[in-house]
């Protein structure tokens, strides 16, 4: 059985990354979601163990010291990290792992796992992104900071394997769904030694 593929989704804040991931998980049974650890406080509606694992900075640093993260970073003055064991074990089971992580984390995963597929999701325009951030009811300072950071993040899109514009949610989800399917069917990811005998057997049966 071929190993699963790490599917990385990165996007500026407010681009719809979480919604896209939720839709993909509803659509595909071969996907598992990697829940990140974070030291920031939960937002309204967020639940520990579902959206993030919320821990103290002291606990996070302890996990760093014990090498429990596949990657970690300091983002907006708070730590975020991807649990190593879940990622490795799920991939070995043949399931693809969906990772909604920032650029720094994405590049770290790509270096450690070159077979990863990195997808960058962009807003249709900076103006639409400003409107989405404002609708989240963050403070004006937070909106301005995230918007400035987003402009830098957009420049990193060139380092990803694919770029998807989220101007229509259904379309963006469909495009990423197609990317995952195409990547999983690449011959480089298949156990060809098992596929060829199967094909030859079928050919012999047809001739008989």
Question: Domains along the chain?
Answer: 6-207 (3.40.50.300)
Helix (H, G, I), strand (E, B) or coil at 164: strand
Q: What angle (nearest 5°) sits at the alpha carbon of residue 151, between those of residues 17 and 126?
A: 70
Say what the pTM is: 0.84
Q: How far apart are CA 19 and CA 44, in angstroms?
A: 16
Tens of pLDDT, residue by residue, the chain (208 residues): 789 999 999 998 778 899 999 999 999 999 999 999 999 999 888 999 999 999 999 999 999 999 999 999 998 789 999 999 999 999 999 999 999 999 999 999 999 999 999 999 998 877 777 776 666 655 566 666 677 677 778 889 999 999 999 999 999 999 999 999 999 999 888 876 666 655 555 555 545 4
CA atoms within 13 A on the CB side of 91: 19
């Amino acid at each position: 059985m071929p190993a699963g593929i790490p599917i990385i989704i990165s996007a500026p804040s407010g681009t719809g990354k979480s919604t896209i991931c939720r839709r993909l998980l509803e659509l595909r049974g071969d996907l598992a979601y990697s829940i990140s650890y974070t030291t920031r406080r939960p937002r309204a509606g967020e639940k520990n163990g579902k959206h993030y694992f919320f821990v103290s900075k002291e606990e996070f640093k302890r996990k760093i010291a014990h090498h429990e993260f596949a990657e970690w970073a300091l983002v907006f003055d708070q730590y975020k990290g991807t649990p190593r064991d879940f990622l490795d074990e799920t991939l070995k089971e043949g399931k693809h792992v969906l990772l909604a992580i920032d650029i720094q984390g994405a590049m770290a995963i790509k270096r450690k796992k070159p077979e990863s597929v990195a997808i960058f999701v962009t807003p249709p325009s900076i103006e639409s992104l400003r409107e989405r951030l404002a609708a989240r009811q963050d403070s004006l300072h937070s909106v301005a900071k995230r918007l400035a950071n987003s402009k830098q993040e957009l420049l990193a899109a060139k380092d990803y394997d694919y770029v998807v514009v989220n101007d229509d949610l259904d379309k963006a989800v469909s495009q990423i769904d197609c990317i995952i399917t195409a990547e999983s069917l690449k011959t480089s990811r298949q156990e060809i030694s098992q596929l060829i005998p199967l094909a030859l057997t079928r050919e012999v049966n047809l001739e008989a």
